[in-house]
């Protein structure tokens, strides 16, 4: 946003950003000085988060870690459960819905039923509760926990969006940063996400220089890889023809990469965007149906949405079936660029193995 109006608004909002940034700076200094306490647990804990308010592609990176670790260790994910209808600690079970634990944890629960999924606003209290309920847990993935400094994770991974690197952003309300840029110092690993698949080595090196990782930090680059579309109600694969009419209906922070992906393959793509983590109602479904009906073209019509949206839309499953809305889900995964996947895997598994060894040597630890 470089319009004169936005520049004027930024000027007006800048004092508020300075004040907010100062408050967070003081808070972080208190944690760094030990005046505010961070609890460290003996069980291996890997935090995945970001400096910005959302849209960096954090969720598929958590899923990458789940796939990497779940066949070797008993894995649990712990999230806040943003925008859920419940409070306190919740452990995902057979009848759990997105309303109980939030959309992203529900997505983990559905895709990886062999791991433990739980939510809790107070992570410092939720970890002991998790270990009490699931004492065989060997590694905990802390989802969106970069700013939750009441817990000191064993491994801290920070994700930053290629199209809006934290080095070029500002603290809210002027920008999208939750804290000042120097917060990246806490990261053990930095992941530049949503990169173009053909990112050049020269641009990679320019970004490395711009971020300037500290000696203890590893830097990685990932891109999004979209999977085979599937019918939301049946789970069956869907072959979408090139002449199809596609209405992208989703409530995520940044739908642009998905829209761009579809427009590279289909000429007729429209977007109907809802707020991030939005819970749909019947009126929304009628609006979606109307928008789809207004699209030009003779090809078959599809409503394309994300996995995160699908777990929320599933609360209206019977209505969707009765309205015969052709919802199609596009799965997404991350892929590491420049052959970095083996190095990242070693980085994570080496930490996990060493942390488990230390925990076994000191079983009475916190």
What integer is the mean pLDDT of 151-164? 94
Percent of the chain with pLDDT over 90: 74
pLDDT band (50, 70, 90) for residue 105? very high
pLDDT band (50, 70, 90) for residue 38? confident
Among 159, 183, 188, smallest CA distance to 170 is for: 183
In tens, the pLDDT along 266-323 reads 989 999 999 999 999 999 999 999 999 999 988 999 999 999 999 999 999 999 999 9
Token digits of residue 60 = 């598929």
Which class for 164: exposed (0-12), middle (13-18), buried (19 or more C-beta within 10 A)?
Answer: middle
pLDDT band (50, 70, 90) for residue 366? very low
Which class for 157: exposed (0-12), middle (13-18), buried (19 or more C-beta within 10 A)?
Answer: buried
Phi–psi pair at 358, nearest 5 degrees: -65, -40
Q: What is the pTM of this model?
A: 0.90
In tens, the pLDDT along 230-246 reads 999 999 999 999 999 99
Phi–psi pair at 176, nearest 5 degrees: -120, 10
């Amino acid at each position: 946003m470089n319009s004169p109006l936005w520049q004027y608004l930024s000027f007006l909002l800048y004092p508020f950003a300075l004040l907010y940034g100062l408050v967070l700076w003081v808070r972080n200094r208190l944690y760094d000085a030990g005046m505010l306490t961070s609890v460290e647990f003996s069980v291996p804990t890997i935090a995945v988060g970001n400096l910005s308010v959302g849209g960096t592609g954090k969720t598929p990176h958590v899923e990458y870690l789940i796939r990497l670790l779940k066949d070797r260790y008993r894995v649990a994910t712990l999230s806040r459960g943003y925008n859920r209808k419940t409070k306190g600690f919740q452990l995902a079970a057979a009848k759990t819905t997105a309303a109980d634990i939030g959309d992203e944890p529900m997505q983990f629960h559905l895709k990886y039923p062999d791991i433990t999924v739980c939510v809790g606003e107070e992570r410092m209290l939720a970890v002991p509760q998790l270990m009490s309920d699931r004492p065989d847990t060997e590694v905990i993935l802390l989802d969106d926990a970069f700013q939750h400094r009441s817990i000191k994770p064993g491994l801290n991974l920070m994700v930053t969006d290629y199209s809006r690197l934290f080095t070029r952003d500002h603290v809210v309300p002027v920008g999208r940063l939750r804290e000042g840029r120097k917060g990246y110092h806490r990261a053990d690993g930095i992941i530049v996400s949503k990169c173009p698949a053909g990112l050049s080595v020269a641009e990679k090196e320019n970004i490395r220089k711009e971020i300037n990782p500290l000696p203890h930090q590893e830097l990685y680059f990932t891109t999004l890889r979209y999977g085979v579309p599937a019918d939301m109600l049946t789970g069956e694969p869907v072959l979408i023809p090139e002449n199809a009419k596609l209405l992208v209906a989703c409530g995520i922070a940044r739908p642009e990469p998905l829209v761009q992906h579809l427009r590279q393959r289909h000429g007729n793509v429209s977007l109907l965007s809802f707020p991030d983590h939005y819970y749909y109602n019947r009126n929304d479904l009628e609006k979606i149906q109307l928008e789809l009906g207004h699209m030009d073209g003779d090809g078959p019509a599809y409503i394309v949405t994300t996995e995160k949206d699908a777990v929320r839309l599933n609360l209206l499953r019977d209505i969707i079936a009765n309205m015969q809305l052709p919802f199609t889900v596009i799965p997404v995964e991350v892929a590491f660029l420049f052959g970095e996947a083996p190095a990242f895997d070693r980085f994570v598994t080496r930490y996990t193995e060493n942390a488990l060894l230390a925990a076994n040597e000191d079983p009475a630890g916190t």
